[in-house]
Amino acid sequence: MLNFTVGPVQVEDRIREIGHDQVPYFRTPEFSAVMLENERLILKFMRAPKNSRAVFLTGSGTFAMEASVENLVTRNDKVLIVNGGTFGQRFTDICRYRNLNFEEIKLPYGTPLCRKDLAPYENKGFTVLLINVHETSTGVLYDMDMVGQFCAENGINLIADAISAFLADDVNMEKWGALAVITSSQKALACHPGISIVALSEKAVETARKNQADALYYDFIPMLDNGVRGQTPFTPAVNILLQINARLVDVEKRGGAESEVSRTKGLAEYFRKGIKDFPFEEFSLSPSNAVTALRPKNVPAYGIFTELKDRYGIWVCPNGGELKDVLLRVGHIGALKFADYDRLFEALTDLKNKGKL
């Protein structure tokens, strides 16, 4: 299997092996040391401001999105959501389940967010903004410096889902002035799915203490208190936390988040150059390094996904819902190399020769 999906992504053999090892008992000084290092490196790679903390949740990215809302947003808040696709919609669904007071900025699929889209919400008493740094369903990367500035000017707490952007695009929690930034294990961290992570600013920690979550398993406070000694309140997905540690240490050795971002960017550029020879249009106007969203010119998108999977063992990423036959996505995160894209181009050439593209 050659995996170009946007998660779970292709995992290096060395990291995969950690995934199938026996699970060690985790109430030990050794595991605590691993967790303290995980927290330190996550905060470093997110460029979190001083006195920030990170919590590690056992659950997919959506759990961290929902837990962040549970701990950091109350019914007294007025919430603004940027909804440009599936993952923006997820924040909307989370707020709806919790009966929060929210409004959405609905963006047409594939379009970036501009300052003029935010203008109507200026000085309107909004207290929280929820946004996906990279709307993975369409490949759009939002201008987070602009969003951060808007939030600062309006006294709005920014909660940023960087699940697919972390280690693929620049993430700078301090510059954005973000209250919290979220990621998870199965995107550019390139580990197995099951752990999600929230980096919390000092203000977020205070907010969580004040708000008091309504559910034990969501509550950041026991996570933060246990985290001081490198522990989690309940049994975590231990092997994935060990995988994350191996990955973070490796990224650190290779030059940190910047080097991982530039490696990903190199793969994205290589692919975007090569794909010009095929009948696709690039869909997103401001693409993330993590993925390229493509609109096939001649045939339905989902058919190409099926052909590549069944005949060539190559997995690109289909879309769901109304974009199913419109879009497909090719990822640049995970353990991928230039030669892998050459294999994809060969398969596409073959499809083209057979009149199937």
**3-state secondary structure at position 192:** coil
The contact mask relative to ligand PLP for 77-96 (x = CB under 6 A, - = no) is ----------x---------
Please, what is the minimum distance in Å from the beta carbon of residue 193 to ligand PLP? 6
Backbone angles phi, psi at 123, to 5 degrees: 50, 40
Considering only residues 136, 207, 245, 288, which one is a binding residue for ligand PLP as defined by CB under 6 A?
A: 136
- Find the binding residues for ligand PLP in span 46-65 (CB under 6 A): 60-62
Please, what is the minimum distance in Å from the beta carbon of residue 136 to ligand PLP? 3
SS3 content of the chain, % helix, strand, coil (to 5): 45, 20, 35
Which two tokens mark 88? 């923006």
| DSSP-derived secondary structure for 28-88 | SHHHHHHHHHHHHHHHHHTTPPTT-EEEEEES-HHHHHHHHHHHH--TT-EEEEEESSHHH
Question: Cβ of 138: how many Cβ atoms within 10 Å?
Answer: 27
Size of the site for ligand PLP (CB under 6 A): 13
The contact mask relative to ligand PLP for 1-20 (x = CB under 6 A, - = no) is ------x-------------
**Is 195 within 8 Å of 163 (Cβ atoms)?**
no
Which range touches ligand PLP (CB under 6 A), out of 131-139, 234-242, 308-316, 337-345? 131-139
Measured in Å, how far apart are the chain's first and last C-alpha atoms?
21
Q: Which of 166/220 has CB closer to ligand PLP?
A: 166
68 binds ligand PLP (CB under 6 A): no
Please, what is the minimum distance in Å from the beta carbon of residue 29 to ligand PLP? 31
Please, what is the minimum distance in Å from the beta carbon of residue 60 to ligand PLP? 3
344 binds ligand PLP (CB under 6 A): no
Instruction: Compute and round to an integer the Cα radius of gyration of the chain.
Output: 20
Please, what is the minimum distance in Å from the beta carbon of residue 4 to ligand PLP? 15
71 binds ligand PLP (CB under 6 A): no
164 binds ligand PLP (CB under 6 A): yes
184 binds ligand PLP (CB under 6 A): yes
Angstrom CA distances, 22 to 132, 190, 238, stand at 35, 20, 10
Query: What single DSSP character describes residue 287?
Result: B
314 binds ligand PLP (CB under 6 A): no
Q: Which of 161/219 has CB closer to ligand PLP?
A: 161
- Least Cα distance to 55 among 258, 225, 261 occurs for 225
What are the helix (H) ranges across 119-219? 144-154, 173-176, 202-211
Query: What single DSSP character describes residue 145?
Result: H
110 binds ligand PLP (CB under 6 A): no
Give the interface with ligand PLP as residue ranges (CB under 6 A).
Answer: 7, 60-62, 87, 132, 134, 136, 161, 163-164, 184, 187
